[in-house]
Amino acid sequence: MQRREFITLIAGAAAAWPLNTRAQQPVKLASIGYMGPNTPSVDSYRLPAFIQRLRELGWIEGRTVAIEYRWAEGRSERLAEIAAEFVKRRVDVIVTAGTLPTAAAKQATSTIPIVFAAVGDPVGTGLVASLARPGGNVTGMSLQQTDSAGKRLELLREVIPGLRHLAIMVNGSNPTAVLEMREVQAIAHTVGLEAVTSEIRRPEDIVPAFDLFKDRVEALYVCNDPLAATNRVRINTSALDARLPTMFGGREYIEMGGLMSYSASFPDLFRRAADFVDEIFRGAKPADLPVQQPTKFELVVNLKTAKALGLEISPTLLARVDEVIE
């Protein structure tokens, strides 16, 4: 499925699915409610992997399974509403991506199985009791977001050998982002970097945050978060204006002008999340399905942005890059 086709399909489905399609279904299909914290464009390279894996397992959208899609577009206040809607519709499984939608779904129901395709730190944020024994009605794929923070800083220092002062941007209302921020601060201190942190809680906070960084830092680390992902163009535009190299935790930021990202492979996480859904459809309980960790990681670099910032990406680093955007 091509990315543009996916976005067009989902945009139409989100509006028309609930009434029209169900009216045409004489037999109740297995049902999934997908809670996206961002926008269809952010999920356009993730969800196709989930849908394809479901198909391989015999769950064909519109024939053997019905999927309803909802997006919060970076507005956390929408999540409780979406979760309540899925509970009311009695979907068989709720699939989420991110800490906040998973927490909203867990608060809305203790009986409907919840599978998270990607959560930064499910144990640290209290979504599951442990990786091996999640307990309750929630399980899925861990991003290990905080575990990757050191690697991101290492890559930034490799690109900017003279890095001494680091800006950190974080959504203070997202517990996973806050955990990542603390890890970055700790590692920065260990390697002799001075960190300047700015919290954002609304899109309107992004541009003023750069006033705090002005003439004080040489690079920007953005903690992964739906608010940041939804407003990635605004962040990258401001960073380029301030001539700040950026490090992110997802490929979608780099497509829109960010310099570098290092993260677990989201398509792989979403693909593996489909296996959880299949097992649950076939009778397994979330409490008995251990949370799994990423096995594939991606380093993405935007060479156009590097050139605009006057940065030289060494051949040694380029040889380790999984995707180059030019």
pLDDT at 89: 96
pTM of the model: 0.85
- Say how many Å lie between the first and final Cα of the chain, rounded: 23
Cα dihedral 234→148→276→271 (10° resolution): 60
Angle between helices 206-213 and 232-241 (to 10 degrees): 30
Q: Domains of the chain (ranges plus CATH)?
A: 3-144+265-297 (3.40.50.2300), 146-264+298-325 (3.40.50.2300)
pLDDT at 7: 52
pLDDT at 147: 86
Q: Which residue has the tokens 């867990």?
A: 106
pLDDT at 9: 53
DSSP helix/strand/coil, 139: strand
pLDDT at 156: 95
Q: Where are the alpha helices (DSSP H) in the chain?
A: 3-16, 22-24, 40-43, 47-56, 79-89, 99-108, 149-159, 175-190, 206-213, 226-230, 232-241, 251-255, 266-281, 303-308, 315-318
Q: What is the pLDDT along the chain (326 residues), one digit of tens a residue?
A: 555 555 555 555 544 444 444 445 456 899 999 999 988 988 888 999 999 999 999 999 999 999 999 999 888 889 999 999 999 999 999 999 999 999 999 999 999 999 999 998 899 889 999 999 999 999 999 988 888 999 999 999 999 989 999 999 999 999 889 999 999 999 999 999 999 999 999 999 999 999 888 889 999 999 999 899 999 999 999 999 999 999 999 999 999 999 999 999 999 999 999 999 999 999 999 999 999 999 999 999 999 999 999 999 999 999 999 999 98
